[in-house]
Amino acid sequence: MDLTGKTVLITGASRGIGAEAARLFAGAGAKVALVARSAEAIAELAGEIGPSAVAIPCDITRYWEVEQAVNACVSAHGGLDIVINNAGAIEPIARMAEADPSAWGEVIDVNLKGVFHGMHAALQIMLPKGGGTVLTIGSGAAHGPVEGWSQYCSSKAGALMLTKMLDEEYRAAGIRAISLSPGTVATQMQRDIKASGINPVSQLDWSDHIPPEWVAKALLWMCGSEADVYLGGEISLRDEGIRAKVGVA
């Protein structure tokens, strides 16, 4: 897919899915804005990618920082066409009675409020120009309980509803909103899950997880019209039909 002339902003771009998406989208011709709290990591990645990338340190739990990041992206690249709400957290993994309420709330701040902040700030740029694409990394955890993951399941369910709301309110204004449920991905999050020893997901072998490059390819495919049938909904990368379309079967 040729994204020459397009600008994409990616949260959680310092590693894992976000970093691979940045590389792939830049390779497809897009200008990329790398957003994460890890300033050093995104600066290094921007240096690797080259002039088409800009690193923007940002804590997505603070709306004013997200707003500034979006404005910095527009200033650097001249616009904003695609937002990928990728940043996510899962720790501390704990059953509800043992969970620290403050730490529990911090996951909600990242996974739910952070997604809303990204959507809200992007709409300020996208609506006046007639539209844009907003992709959010979802999870199978949005659809059912997983032991020790009350904060993660709740926040991912909420984030999926935000995608549905975005589509409900702004599809007619040109906004394409889709969630991607990738399955288990070989990233640091899976190492943290493994270390917890709670629930069957922690018992999976590393070889059971898909590479983050597959998720990046799915996100790129979702920017094309072939994915329009999923607007307002969720695409599952566990689906062999989707994997074939994306080219990772």
Q: What is the pLDDT of residues 191-202, one digit of tens each?
A: 778 787 787 777
Q: Any residues with CB less than 8 A from the CB of 177 and at least 6 apart, and which?
A: 119, 133, 134, 135, 136, 163, 164, 166, 167, 170, 171, 231, 232
How many domains are contained in the chain? 1
Which residue among 113, 156, 179, 181 is the active-site one? 156
Q: Which amino acid is at 163?
A: T
117-to-79, 196, 204, 210, 230 alpha-carbon distances in Å:
18, 30, 33, 28, 23
- Tokens 């979702």, located at residue: 222
Q: Residue 154 has what pLDDT? A: 97
On whether the pTM is more than 0.85, the answer is yes
Reply yes or no on whether the pLDDT at 172 is more than 70.
yes
d(CA 147, CA 193): 11
Q: Any residues with CB less than 8 A from the CB of 8 and at least 6 apart, and which?
A: 25, 30, 31, 32, 33, 81, 82, 83, 84
Which residue among 139, 179, 181, 236 is the active-site one? 139
User: Is 1 a member of any domain?
Assistant: no
d(CA 121, CA 87): 15
Span of 6-10, 191-195, 203-207 with lowest mean pLDDT: 203-207
Reply yes or no on whether the pLDDT at 13 is more than 80.
yes
Domain, as residue range, for 25: 7-246
6-35 average pLDDT score: 97
pLDDT digits (tens, 9 = 90+) for 79-127: 999 999 999 998 889 999 999 999 999 999 999 999 999 999 999 999 9
User: Is 161 a member of any domain?
Assistant: yes
129 is an active site residue: no
63 is an active site residue: no
Residues 24 and 216: beta-carbon distance below 8 Å: yes
Residues 30 and 83: beta-carbon distance below 8 Å: no
Residues 55 and 37: beta-carbon distance below 8 Å: no
User: Is 234 a member of any domain?
Assistant: yes
If pLDDT is split at 50, 70 and 90, which confidence band does 203 have? confident
User: Is 141 a member of any domain?
Assistant: yes
66-73 average pLDDT score: 98
User: Is 54 a member of any domain?
Assistant: yes
- Tokens 């019209």, located at residue: 225
129-147 average pLDDT score: 94
pLDDT digits (tens, 9 = 90+) for 148-165: 989 999 999 999 999 999
Q: Residue 204 has what pLDDT? A: 66
Which residue among 6, 14, 31, 152 is the active-site one? 152
CATH of the domain at 104: 3.40.50.720
User: Is 193 a member of any domain?
Assistant: yes
Span of 116-130, 139-153, 205-219 with lowest mean pLDDT: 205-219
Q: Residue 206 has what pLDDT? A: 65
- Tokens 């072939």, located at residue: 226
d(CA 138, CA 235): 9
Bridge partners (DSSP) of residue 180 are: 137, 235
User: Is 130 a member of any domain?
Assistant: yes
138-to-10, 112, 151, 190, 214 alpha-carbon distances in Å:
15, 11, 14, 15, 15
**Between residues 196 and 21, the one the model is more confident about:** 21
User: Is 203 a member of any domain?
Assistant: yes
Residues 33 and 10: beta-carbon distance below 8 Å: yes
pLDDT digits (tens, 9 = 90+) for 22-61: 999 999 999 999 999 999 999 999 999 999 999 999 999 9
